[in-house]
Amino acid sequence: MAVAEAMIIYFCMLSLFANAAITKDNTLFSMGDLNFVAVVIVISMKLQIIEMHNKSIVAGLSVFLSAGAVFLWNIVLAAVYPPISMYKACGGFFNGFGQNPTWWMTLVFIVACVYILEFSVSAFRKAFLPTDTDVFQELERDQAYKEPFEAAAVPGSRQRWEIYI
């Protein structure tokens, strides 16, 4: 899956952003930054949203902070990078690729494509090749099965569920 997702990220960036006729700033820095931002968002959302069964506010906060940290890093690079260098990083996020709607739409398209692939493969696997974990996660959601499981677990653990509710 990771190789397929990396190929989607790279080749979507290459075909939609780097080779676009309307792109103002298709330098190495802007293309690499697009890949970097897409990878960070994909990994963060995959770990915290797709793979995690019991989601909480902490998972959402983690996704928000990791994506925010990437954009903060872009702002810092654009502000402190020297104007004369091999890469157009100085002001790139403010005046270059950051103002380019093609860059942003390519980022949204890349993330959407990766998640369509991820959800499709996950749905296919859970429908046709479920693991024991998948089966019990589904049974946990059904109240008719959940109560007997909880009742059977209470005597063995010598705790009561009401303590934690």
Residue 130 in this model has a pLDDT that exceeds 60 = yes
The pTM of this model reads 0.82
Quote the pLDDT of residue 52.
87
Query: Helix, strand, coil proportions of the chain in percent (round to 5)?
Result: 75, 0, 25
Measure the CA dihedral 1/33/108/39, to 10°: 20
- Between CA 107 and CA 100 the distance in angstroms is 11
User: What pLDDT, in 10s, does the model give residues 137-153?
Assistant: 888 888 888 888 777 77
Q: What is the pLDDT averaged over residues 24-40?
A: 89
Residue in 125, 143, 142 with CA at minimum distance from that of residue 134: 125
pLDDT tens profile 36-91: 999 999 999 999 988 888 888 999 999 999 999 999 998 998 888 877 777 777 77
The Cα angle at residue 104 between residues 4 and 91, in degrees rounded to 5: 115
